Chains A and B, each alone.
Chain A
Amino acid sequence: METDIILETRNLTKAFGALVAVDNVSIKVRKHSLHAIIGPNGAGKTTFFNLLSGNLEPTSGQVLFKGRDITRQPVHRTIHCGIGRSFQITNIFPNLTVFENIRLAAQATGRDNFRFWRPASHFKQYEARTWEVIEKVGLKERTFVPARTLPHGDQRKLELGMILAPDPELLLLDEPTAGMAAEQVPELIALIREIQSSGNKTVMLVEHNMNVVMSVSDTITVMHQGRVLAEGTPADIAANEEVQTAYLGGLYKLNA
């Protein structure tokens, strides 16, 4: 039985001219797991996410979400089938307020998008949801300032908030802690873990911090030059000779 597989890719490939950024990747992601994708810079992790979220069209291969083929689905459909995606490079609405950034995310999956004769503030359900999310990611102190004025760490929280608002089943988080001050990282990771376990969600996480990856992941896929180099539990990966030489460079040892 494969009903506990929420996302599957089959021979997924993306070539930019001669460069094959994602090369024949077939993986399965178990429901309610935290599945990390790691690999050196340029390994193709972000490109892989872009294929999953519909931001890029694959050269070949398939993406199946809950058994359904979503390979060439337009990008605006992604969230409606239950996949939320955050970006490595902060991707927000800089001149809108923090509140409006999240409110827009909450409104998107509702049915009121074309009610142009009513003020947006009339639709209380989205505002209520926005407050919930703001509370959760800890942006309560800076709700009504333009998003561009937030410090970087808070922009990362906002980025996360924007995908939590519509409450997707699968979260694709591309280096959510990128550029964050080291002391803020554990807090955010704890939050992600909490969302994943208490909300019964599946999380796919790209992350460079090995300590974080080793401690929170259920499954790790190691990518290298577009291909899957290894896959397994944190313990498997830490013990894998090939991974050690190709990527971890012997720097990371389990229990080190």
Chain B
Amino acid sequence: MTPSAPSFVQQHRIALISLLALILLPFIVGVFEGASPLEVWSNRSGASKFIQGLAIEIFILALYALSYDLIFGFTGLLSFGHSMFFAVGAYLTGIALKSFGLNLWQTFGLLMVAAVAQALLFGIVLPRVKGITFALVTLGMSSVFHIVIMSRELGDYTGADVGLQGVIVPDFISPATERLRLYFVALTILVLFYLLYRRFVDSPTGRVCKAIRENEGRAQMLGYNTFLFKLAALILSSITAAIAGALHTIYQPIVSPDISGLGFTVTALLIILIGGVGTLNGALVGAAIFRLLDFGLRRYLGESASFINGAIYVLIVLFLPYGIVGTWQLKASLTFQQMRQGWRHLLELFGLDRVRHVSKE
């Protein structure tokens, strides 16, 4: 051990402080609302419930955005059908609990099977289509799913355009009576997946994913069967998003069919663009900003909120092409040179650059 090596705590200062803050958040807010931590703990007074709810929504969004960062930010797969990964989790959970009366563990097992299956479905087309074509094909797949969800014929199960409601959530994580527990369950799941992702992106597998994002043809030439790595990223991403969807169903009284539309994929994209593409932390920061901004603006501006919201996102993407976390990591003030590099980088990720690489015809 060299004495100059930073300790674990020093190295992960920001992460640990954030985690501690999130653990204490319900109690601190409770104190401000006049409830002792003990009352908050026993869920008796209903204090800080609102904040807990908002935080749970952010955790779910963050988990969902993480899963998108893995395939788009790290592997360079531009999917326009990502919302399907989330919606399958949400609807499957709701239907399994409500219509088939399965318990939570059976539902979870089913969820895993479905998550892998849909990743394989997206994966089939991988060897044939690249870049923007992959985006359109995945959009097509998720649109079909959206239509199925909305169809009258399945209305008994899905609730069609009204949304899925009346899902009976097991008491021990009921958002109504055991919200604090649900808060910690959601937080724990988010933290576990975050740690898993940190591991994954720095593992031999994750490093190859980054290489694929940078120059897939070269990665193949180095001897990697890139298809398998993209599939691995898709599977992990799909499992994550499906779990986020399941939490969504558990928390929300009504599951709106909007979560299977293109709009919700764009939400994931926006979150990581704000936070910083390919940083993981960006997904967390972006999700918090996205939700809080939406909440705050809606509260004070009412209808015009979404316009202002959009303008803010455009400004962020334009002036911080690396996103908030990405810019932070540059550790220096953003020069115009770096901004141009950042825009170029974004264009490349969207497949809109003109760089071509030798690849199999």
Contact = CB atoms under 8 A, between A and B. Distances in A.
B214 A80 contact: no
A76 interface: yes
With most chain A CB atoms within 10 A of its CB, the pick from B206, B214, B221 is B221
| Chain B at the A interface: SS class | helix
A91 B360 contact: no
Contacts of B199: 116-119
A76 B226 CA distance: 8
Interface in B302-361: 345, 357-361
Interface string A62-105: 00000000000011111110000101000111111000100111
B223 A79 contact: yes
Interface of B: 199-200, 202-208, 210-211, 214-215, 217-226, 228-229, 232, 345, 357-361
Contacts of B219: 104
Contact of A114 (B202, B204, B211, B226): B204
Given A94-B215, A115-B204, A108 B223 contact: yes
Nearest to B199: A117
A152 B152 CA distance: 62
A11 interface: no
Nearest to A147: B214
Contact of A50 (B207, B225, B232, B358): B358
Interface in A115-165: 115-121, 123, 162
Given A57-B361, A93-B211, A93-B215, A112 B204 contact: yes
A123 B221 CA distance: 22
Contact of A75 (B206, B214, B215, B221): B221
Nearest to A111: B204
B215 A92 contact: yes
A56 B211 contact: no
B358 A76 contact: no
B203 A115 contact: yes
Contacts of B208: 104, 107, 113
Contacts of B218: 91-93
Given A91-B217, A95-B214, A116 B205 contact: yes
